[in-house]
Structure 1
């Protein structure tokens, strides 16, 4: 039996991150499972902390307004702009971060 090397959590999550049209995530928003992540944070690091169930870090980010359930205004703006967002699934949630214009 051979042991295959495992990637660190952050590397694994990086492979699972993708850009996706917001409209494809609206069902998660409707279920209250779309979590908005500020562009000031690293989406992968936020996903890693969620995977580790680091409630203390999440509370700090929420208190700072950097992580929260996607609000109606933001969802509508992304819908109207037909926006693509960065997304990372950490079941049962989807972390969502608006793409910065290049």
Structure 2
């Protein structure tokens, strides 16, 4: 089981990439974009979503470790164009600012 988790983690890590806010805007418009807070491992969150680990996902959602991207955050990213990292765990796109 632990080995399978490691394989999935590595797969998700390999699918994580730098992306521009411009490319993410359609996902934001559909409500499918989730922001992962600083200090939270983007790939660990993706892993929990992929494994449907409801306890961990609920914890992050409840503690604002993961949240829908709010319009104010979207406007901030549009104006600053920071380096964003994203990974897809359908139907969600998880995004985190790096820098």
- Asked if Structure 1 and Structure 2 have the same fold, meaning a TM-score greater than 0.5 normalized by the shorter chain, the answer is yes
Q: CA RMSD in A?
A: 1.3
Structure 1 unaligned segments of length 5 or more: list them: 1-5
Deviation string, structure 1 residues 65-92 (Cα, Å, up to 9, x no partner): 1101111111110011122300001111
Is residue 2:28 matched to residue 1:29?
yes
Query: For 1:79 and 1:50, how far apart are their aligned partners in 2?
Result: 27
Number of aligned positions between the proteins: 95
Query: For 2:7 and 2:23, how far apart are their aligned partners in 1?
Result: 29
User: Which aligned pairs between 1:58-97 and structure 2 lie closer than 5 A?
Assistant: 58-97=57-96
- Provide TM-score, normalisation by structure 1: 0.88
Is residue 2:61 matched to residue 1:49?
no
- Provide TM-score, normalisation by structure 2: 0.90
